[in-house]
Amino acid sequence: MTQEENIAAEAAARTNGPTHSGFVALIGPTNAGKSTLVNRLVGAKVSIVSHKVQTTRAIVRGIAIHDNAQIVFMDTPGIFKPRRRLDRAMVTSAWGGAKDADLIMLLIDSERGLRGDAEAILEGLKEVQQPKILVLNKIDRVNREDLLALAASANEKIAFDRTFMISAETGSGCDDVMDYLASTLPEGPWYYPEDQISDLPMRQLAAEITREKLFLRLHQELPYSSHVETEKWEERKDGSVRIEQVIYVERDSQKKIALGKGGETIKAISTASRKELSEILEQPVHLFLFVKVRENWGDDPERFREMGLEFPK
C-alpha cells in the first residue's frame, strides 16, 4: 500500500462520509495577522510571529483537520511594494501561492482598513480566478459601523464569496471560518497524515523559531538583513538533541547588536529559542548560536534557496 493509500485509509476510518481536502492561500498586507491566524486555525505554532513587518519570508503550510476536511493553509509573505531583491522574491512567492491554491483568503487589518498595500492587493486579486473570501481581523478594536462600511467597500471592488469578521488573537469568529472551508473545499483524499501539522522540515522550523526570537528581542535595533540557518542537528544517546545555528548579518555593527554587551543578547535569544524548541520536540535541546558576517547575503542565490524562495533575476 502506498503512502497516499495509507493516508486515505486512515482518513476513511476516522470519518463518516466523504472526505474533503484543499489548499487555502492566506494573503494580505504586512502585519495583518496572517501568521497568528494560521497558528490559531491549525491549533499549534507553525509560523513565526513578531511585531516586525514582513517577518514571514516564504510560504509556510499549516495543516488542520476540521470535520471531514483536511485544510492546508498557505501562510504567504505580506504583500507590499518591493524595494530590494529579497522583497521581490517574497512578493512573488505570495502571489504564486495564491494562484496555486483552491481558495484564497484575503486578511485585512480592520484598524488599517484598505489604505496603502490593501488597495493594491485588491486590484491584483481581480486577475486571480480562484474563489475568494474576505476576512476582517482585529474586529475587537473597531466599532461595528466601521466594520460594516469596510466590508461593503471591499466587496464593491471584489466579488467575495463570503465575508468573515474575526479576531485571530482571541479566536472569535474562527470556528465559522473553519466550518465554511470544511464544507467548501473539494471532495477528495487527504494530502497528509492526520497527525502532521506542517510540511516545514524540523531543521528549518528550528531556524524560524530562532529568527522569531531575534526579531522579538531586536525588532527596533536590527534591520532585515539577518538570516538564520540550522547547520548541525545531532540526536544524542541520552535522548537530547544538539543544534547548531548561524545568524548571518551583513555588517560588523549588526553582529555587535546581535551579540549584545558581554554576549547577553545572544544568550537571551538562545534561552528563549531553546525553551520553545524543547516544548515542540518534547526532548531536551542543547542550542548553540553563532553570529557571522556575510556581506550582501541578500544577493546570494544559495541563501534564497535555504529560505524556500526563488532567486529573482
Amino acid sitting at position 227: H
30 is in an annotated binding site: yes
78 is in an annotated binding site: yes
Are 23 and 192 in contact by the 8 Å Cβ rule? The answer is no
Q: List C-alpha distances in Å: 199 to 5, 107, 307.
A: 19, 22, 14
89 is in an annotated binding site: no
28 is in an annotated binding site: yes
76 is in an annotated binding site: yes
Q: How wide is the angle at C-alpha 89 spanned by C-alphas 83 and 91, nearest 5°?
A: 75
273 is in an annotated binding site: no
77 is in an annotated binding site: yes
Q: List C-alpha distances in Å: 224 to 40, 79, 86.
A: 26, 16, 10
Among the listed residues 187, 185, 195, the one whose alpha carbon sits nearest the alpha carbon of residue 25? 185
58 is in an annotated binding site: no
Kindly write down the DSSP assignment for every residue of 201-221, as one continuous string: -HHHHHHHHHHHHHHHHHTTT
140 is in an annotated binding site: yes
239 is in an annotated binding site: no
97 is in an annotated binding site: no
99 is in an annotated binding site: no
Q: List C-alpha distances in Å: 91 to 81, 86, 137, 279, 297.
A: 8, 9, 21, 32, 19
131 is in an annotated binding site: no
75 is in an annotated binding site: yes
Amino acid sitting at position 295: E
Answer left, alpha or beta for residue 274, where phi above 0 means left and psi between -120 and 50 means alpha: alpha
79 is in an annotated binding site: yes
> What are the φ and ψ backbone dihedral angles of 2, each rounded to 5 degrees?
-75, 165
The binding site for GTP consists of: 28-35, 75-79, 137-140
The binding site consists of: 28-35, 75-79, 137-140
